[in-house]
Chain A
């Protein structure tokens, strides 16, 4: 047996493990989606089923529901690995921690964010979104959900060592989600008025690019603090 350090191999292994575990416990994938569906269907019940009112509120509802359902799975990113010691093993492996973090966040996104993006047309229909706005909703979710996972991972890394970090995690992370919420809903609103919304998308894209570069380092520092 010989040793060969390959970043690709590491990424694939970490990613594969998390996705495999999620498929073994399907509730991890299904619960956030059901939660999303329930939150969305509560609004027509609460504020009345007028199609125009719903279409007006849809961007906000979809995005708030997306934020909350992402929160559900966030705690799980590092929790199990912290408890069984896998996190320690990953920290003493010669690979950079930030790479491990990227792999884990990507896995988290494909388990929680991606299904949301794929099912969003259906949720849009429930809220009477027109096709323009629907398109914008899908694109903003596609750019926005990885951003939610990346920002959320910082909070998850900081709170993983705490006994009951769940509420603290929400308090830490939800305020950081506000810019995403503002620009994403603004993009959908603008598109509903048949205007150009590339400006908002560009800002979301810029935020994603920055988070993709910076968040892994923040998360790895957070994890090192939590493990020590």
Chain B
């Protein structure tokens, strides 16, 4: 199988409050690859993610998606990107099913039938949230709230998953579940790009590591 280059980043620079976080950063992310972004607090991991996802305007450098500049065709890039940041985008007034449904509907995933929630219930059961489907998310614990957000990984068909600290507040069993899901994503030709302070080398043999250094 030919391996395509999903994302290519060229000469990205990020300056925050007169401090240069990284300069002329270039890297490549091929298909079926898991890449971990490492670095101490304040090294610019989240800043890099926000630049790649397009929240922060690129002052210098380029992003390429399948060889095409992302600026020219942002829609294609965004339709193949799943981004989960520190702020997970889960509304705490709504319940888990409503949250998942809303995310699905606003990202183009159709469900079988409008009134059929069984697929949603199965998914939540799989994530260990049985019996908590109808409760407003604010009543759930931090880890459970995070699980509701991470349920998107079981729905998403995006080729690139960008996850900023996905393991925060998730228990050991949850971490195992997530790693299994990462493997599925790799098997179907997608890639995972994540920040984490956990050591993932023992779970993923060909883990690529991108390190950022804290610069003063």
Interface residues of A (CB under 8 A from B): 1-6, 9-10, 12-14, 17, 20-21, 24-25, 80-81, 83-95, 100, 224, 227-228
Contact = CB atoms under 8 A, between A and B. Distances in A.
Contacts, number: 97
B75 A3 contact: no
B183 interface: no
Contacts of A93: 78, 106-108
Interface in B44-102: 50, 53-57, 75-76, 78-79, 81, 83, 85-94, 98, 101-102
Contact of B93 (A4, A10, A21): A21
Interface size class of B (residues with CB under 8 A): 35 or more
B102 A17 contact: yes
B135 interface: no
A224 B102 CA distance: 21
A224 B78 CA distance: 15
Contact of A21 (B79, B94, B101): B94
B83 A1 contact: no
Interface string B127-156: 000000000000000000000000000010
A24 B136 CA distance: 11
A197 to B, nearest CB: 42
Name the residue in A4, A5, A24 with the highest tally of chain B Cβ atoms < 10 Å from its Cβ. A5
B81 A92 contact: yes
A164 to B, nearest CB: 19
By secondary structure, the B interface counts as loop
The list of the 7 closest CB pairs from A to B, nearest first, reads A85-B87, A89-B89, A13-B105, A94-B79, A85-B89, A3-B108, A5-B108
Given A91-B55, A92-B81, A84 B105 contact: no
A90 B91 contact: no
A24 B98 CA distance: 13
By secondary structure, the A interface counts as helix
Nearest to B80: A94
Contact of B91 (A3, A13, A84): A84
B109 interface: yes
Contacts of A21: 91, 93-94
Contacts of A227: 55
B92 A84 contact: yes
B208 interface: no
Contact of A92 (B53, B94, B105, B110): B53
Name the residue in B85, B88, B105, B155 with the highest tally of chain A Cβ atoms < 10 Å from its Cβ. B105
A85 B99 CA distance: 12
13 contacts: A1-B109, A1-B157, A3-B108, A9-B110, A10-B106, A13-B106, A21-B91, A21-B93, A86-B89, A88-B85, A91-B54, A92-B81, A94-B78
Given A90-B106, A92-B81, A228-B55, 13 more contacts: A3-B79, A3-B107, A3-B110, A12-B105, A13-B101, A80-B91, A80-B93, A85-B87, A86-B89, A87-B89, A89-B103, A95-B108, A100-B106
